[in-house]
Amino acid sequence: MSEADCLFCKIVAGEIPAKIVHETDRTLAFRDVNPQAPTHVLVVPKEHYPDAAALAAADHGLADDVIKAAHAVAEQEGVAASGYRLVFNTGAEAGQTVFHVHGHVLGGRGLTWPPG
Ligand code: 5GP
Ligand code: ZN
């Protein structure tokens, strides 16, 4: 399942280049083009779902795979022990700009709370 005009479907298809850091049969992780922390990686399912709720509603374990892949990225980046933030911006007011679900793996510096 992919959408013709979806940026992240195009990255999954190899039509737009990205710095890929991790891949499984069902997920892809690549560096954010505008990093907000020393580690800023986006983890996506290869199938197109618009947001985290739609991914979870599909109920076939893919949401689990995305979260497991995010942790594998954090381990690979050396931030799993120190701590990292896994963010799924959902909807415009939360700052979602790409409507292909993606988890932001952020780490490598102290992250403040509450978020901006
Ligand atoms: P959102 O705002 O939807 O939660 O996150 C979208 C993220 O995608 C942003 O952090 C933005 O920097 C990143 N992004 C936008 N366009 C590209 C691109 O072409 N390549 C990569 N690697 N990241 C992108
Ligand atoms: Zn897509």
In this structure, which amino acid lies at residue 94? Answer: A
At 44 the pLDDT is: 98
Q: Distance, CA 55 to ligand 2 centroid (Å)?
A: 12
**Cβ(50) – ligand 1 distance below 6 Å:** no
Residue nearest to atom 4 of ligand 1 (CA): 96
Classify residue 108 by burial, with Cβ atoms within 10 Å: 0-12, 13-18, 19+: middle
Q: Which CATH superfamily is domain 3-107 in?
A: HIT-like (3.30.428.10)
Residue 1: its pLDDT value, please? 57
Tens-digit pLDDT profile for the chain (116 aa)? Answer: 578 899 999 999 999 999 999 999 999 999 999 999 999 999 999 999 999 999 999 989 999 999 999 999 999 999 999 999 999 999 999 999 999 999 999 999 999 999 98
Question: 107 C-alpha vs ligand 2 centroid, how far in Å?
Answer: 25
The backbone torsions φ and ψ at residue 81, rounded to the nearest 5 degrees and listed phi first, read -75, -40
CB of 96 within 6 A of ligand 1: the answer is yes
> Which pLDDT does position 3 carry in this prediction?
86
**pLDDT score of 116:** 83
